[in-house]
Amino acid sequence: MTLEVGLVLGIIGITMVLFSIEKIAPDVIALGIIVILVLSGLLPLERALAGIGSEAFILVLGLLVMTAGLEKTGVVDMAGDWILRKAGHDSSRFLLIVMLAAAGLSALMSNTGATAFFLPIVIGMARNMKVSRSKLLIPLAFASILASSVTLIATTTNIVVSGLMEDEGMLPLGMFELTPIGLVILILGIVYMLTIGKKLIPDRPYEEPFSAEASVRNYLTELVVPERSNLCGKTLAQAALGRDLDLTVLRISKDKRSFLVPTANTILSAGDVLIVEGNRDGLLNIQEKTGLELKPRSDIAYQEVQSEEISLFEVILLPRSPLIGRTLKRLDFRSHYGLQVLGINRSGRTIRRKLSEVRLSVGDQLLLHGNRTSAMALDQSSAFRLLHAIRTEERDPKRAVVSGAVFLGALALAALNLISVPIAAIIGMLLVFILGCITPEEAYQMVNWRVLILIGGMLALGIAIQDTGTAAYLSERIITFTHGMDSKWLLGGFFLLSMLLSQPMSNQAAAVVVVPIAIQTALQLGLNPRSFAVMIALGASCSFLTPLEPSCMMVYGPGNYRFIDFLKVGMPLTVIIFFTALIMVPIIWPL
């Protein structure tokens, strides 16, 4: 083992640990990898940055912009309306239609996007049909993941694998090259979920984490600003009720008839009546510490903190949200967005105190209080998804048709091999801008830049694995260890390796680490490297065992699931996919 190989293996090990402990954002880890590879001399700068300018990077960017156009023009919403009309109130029929629709949408855009779109629809329908949402949300997440191998663009993992194949001098994956095996996996997966899987899913009643009566009313009271109070003339920010006493001001009455929406710059005056929410200790200490007069009322109604424009909203954070990884204090959330966070629910556990110091994560459910317009604007910008509200943005059928035509046209150009897939994506991206489907500002705001940075950084690690001889070194060790083993089981071993690595790491990162090693192993054994690359693409997207996959993280809290639920339901499904791949891959891509 050379020093360079040892350094690369060390970087891989540290990367896996950092991904596992989740203390540092994945995109930050990816940027750190680029810096370390350059400073250590393992890669020259131009090679380390090659991933950011790669065809895979450009293709993902183009697809993200085009799918943003589909969302902005209402194409995705129209699909949701159609599903609701077809499903009716039969829970079994609804589950089948939602799984098929989520899979169909996921085949053309990211599975996280498909899950995020259908999540509030499924929650609303579960309430209307009086069905436990736990019976519906795992099937939704799993259906979107099952479609990962239906097309090249169904997941960025396929695109990354295709780019790595090109780097090794192989032909890239075709748009529908994975479709034969992808459709079989999808059909088997849906049949499993509707039969065996359905029985394994717990029927766990959903406990509302932010029940209006239980969560807000018990903490409501009135405070009056007395004459000559030292708070007179100060702003709410200067009063520091939240910082010092952990109290939240919900409403302010200046004249006993009208209410103001409190902001950090609201100036307090004598006689102001504040409706606040807080814990007992904070409320008991408020008169001593601030001079405000405490007038507890048992008749303060939940409706008093709501109006036509001011209300409570339950939302869930999406993977591409700019709020992920940041605290409310650092975001200056209330001043910046005009909304107040009253509670955070994470993985079924409600966090109420010191909310300003909580670092937000994918799948967090937030209880917000504030202006309806502000909440709707953040929903449309994909900062979060409203779980109990209907979007009011007007649709433009003409732009929707144009956006859909551009997307399908780009796919057709690539599928017919008239132009390369990255060029088709660039043309599609250009057309949605020129034809007014979406503005560049809107598109770039909706693009998940974290995914792009992660891909760019991890591709740099893939280049280092190849250039330093790490792939060749590891392939020699694997060949020695598996001497005499049937080539099919070696193929299956790489499936399992990529699948297991995708649990602590991202799917793309797992593929980047394993593909160069697998290709070198196949070449040294005289086997078809394409078979191994395809197998790894299938394995890296097989994320059913834990709720760590973003699609699963989004349903974890709303479904009131436990970690073991995913293992119990996902293990048989993973076994089905494994043996399906083990049988079909050598047939379609002979070893």
> Sheet containing 365-371: which strands, arranged edge to edge?
349-351, 339-346, 365-371, 310-317, 384-386
Section 344-363 average pLDDT: 74
Terminal CA-to-CA distance of the chain, rounded, Å?
30
- Write phi, then psi, for 16 (nearest 5 degrees): -65, -40
Residue linked to tokens 């109420």: 352
Q: Are strands 365-371 and 310-317 parallel, antiparallel or unpaired?
A: antiparallel
* pLDDT band per the 50, 70, 90 thresholds, residue 414: confident
pLDDT at 558 over 50: yes
Residue 462 confidence (pLDDT): 86
Average pLDDT, stretch 337-360? 74
- Residues 6 or more apart whose CB falls under 8 angstroms from that of 424 comprise 62, 410, 411, 413, 414
Please tell me what DSSP assigns to residue 215: I
3-state secondary structure of 179: helix
3-state SS assignment for residue 90: coil
The pLDDT, as a whole number, for residue 317 is 85
Under DSSP, is residue 250 helix (H, G, I), strand (E, B) or coil?
A: strand
Q: Which amino acid is at 436?
A: G
**Nearest residue to 293 (alpha-carbon basis) of 220, 225, 239, 244:** 225
Gap between the Cα atoms of 159 and 177, Å rounded: 12
Least confident residue range of 22-36, 177-191, 326-340: 326-340
Q: Using CA atoms, how far apart are residues 493 and 491, in angstroms rounded to an integer?
A: 5
SS3 (DSSP) at 212: helix
pLDDT interval class at 382 (50, 70, 90):
low
Query: By mean pLDDT, which of 28-37, 240-249, 542-551 is the weakest?
Result: 240-249
Give every CB contact of residue 233 below 8 A, 6+ residues apart in sequence: 267, 268, 269
- Top pLDDT among 532 and 54 is at 532
420: pLDDT strictly greater than 70 = yes
β-partners of residue 366 are 315, 344
- The band of 140, judged by pLDDT with boundaries at 50, 70 and 90, is very high
Which range has highest mean pLDDT (207-221, 359-373, 453-467)?
453-467
Does the structure show a pLDDT above 90 at 186? yes
- The yes-or-no verdict on residue 421 having pLDDT over 90 is no
What is the structure's pLDDT at 293? 73
The CB-side HSE value for 21 (13 A sphere, CA atoms) comes to 8
Which residue carries 């693009």 as its tokens? 447
333, 569 Cβ separation under 8 angstroms: no
Residues 539 and 495: their CA atoms lie apart, in Å, by: 5
Tell me which of 26-30, 306-310, 528-532, 585-589 is least confident.
306-310
Closest by CA position to 461, among listed 172, 40, 170, 148: 40
Q: Which of 212-216, 229-233, 258-262, 513-517 has the lowest mean pLDDT?
A: 212-216
What is residue 584's predicted lDDT score, i.e. its pLDDT? Answer: 96
pLDDT at 154 > cutoff 60:
yes
The pLDDT-based confidence of 269 (bands split at 50, 70, 90) is confident
Q: How high is the pLDDT of residue 390? A: 42
How much is the pTM? 0.73
Q: Quick one: what percent of the chain has pLDDT higher than 90? A: 22
| Mean pLDDT for the chain overall | 81
Amino acid symbol at 396: D
Does the pLDDT at position 153 exceed 50? yes
Indicate whether 1 pLDDT > 70.
yes
The yes-or-no verdict on residue 308 having pLDDT over 60 is: no
pLDDT band at 210 (very low <50, low <70, confident <90, very high): low
235 touches 267 (CB < 8 A): yes
Return the pLDDT at 213.
Answer: 41
Does residue 235 have a pLDDT over 90? Answer: no
- Which CB contacts under 8 angstroms, 24+ apart, belong to 302-308? 302/212, 302/213, 302/216, 302/217, 304/220, 304/251, 304/275, 305/216, 305/220, 305/250, 305/251, 305/275, 305/369, 307/259, 308/372
* 57 or 197, greater pLDDT: 197
pLDDT above 50 for 80: yes
CA distance 51 to 160: 10
| pLDDT score at 236 | 82
Is pLDDT larger for residue 356 or for residue 299? 356
Token pair of 38, please? 């350059």
**What whole-number distance in Å separates Cα of residue 411 and Cα of residue 66?**
11
The yes-or-no verdict on residue 105 having pLDDT over 50 is yes
Q: What is the mean pLDDT of residues 126-144?
A: 87
Q: Is residue 58's pLDDT more than 90?
A: no
CA-closest candidate to residue 304, choices 355, 250, 365, 245: 250
Q: What is the pLDDT of residue 125?
A: 78
Q: Is the pLDDT of residue 182 over 90?
A: yes
The secondary structure of 107-148, three-state, reads CCCCHHHHHHHHHHHHHHHHHHHCCCCHHHHHHHHHHHHHHH
Torsion of CA 61, 104, 435, 455, to 10 degrees: 0
Based on its alpha-carbon atoms, the radius of gyration of the chain, rounded to whole angstroms, reads 26
Question: Can you name the residues that pair with 295 across neighbouring β-strands?
Answer: 222
What pLDDT does 302 receive?
A: 47
Q: What share of the chain is helix, strand, coil (3-state, %, to 5)?
A: 60, 10, 30
Q: Can you tell me which residue has the tokens 């990898």?
A: 33
Confidence check: pLDDT of 212 > 80: no
Which range is least confidently modeled, 156-160, 174-178, 234-238, 340-344? 340-344
Q: How far are the Cα atoms of 83, 202, 226, 271, 439 from residue 256, in angstroms, in the given order?
A: 47, 50, 15, 9, 45
Select from 583, 581, 567, 588 the least CA-distant residue to 496: 581
Amino acid at 502: S
pLDDT at 354: 67
Residue type, position 31, single letter? L
What DSSP letter does each residue of 530-546 carry, written as one string? Answer: HHHHHHHHHHHT---SS
pLDDT at position 246 is 67
Between the alpha carbon of residue 549 and those of residues 111, 141, 456, 502, the distances in Å are 10, 9, 20, 9
Distance CA 76, CA 68 (A): 10
How much is the average pLDDT of 550-557?
Answer: 83
Q: Among 129-138, 335-344, 417-426, which stretch is predicted with the lowest mean pLDDT? A: 335-344
Among 129-138, 204-213, 470-479, name the one with the lowest average pLDDT: 204-213
Confidence of residue 288 (pLDDT cuts 50, 70, 90): low
In angstroms, the Cα distances linking 531 to 1, 420, 488, 527, 539 are: 28, 22, 10, 8, 12
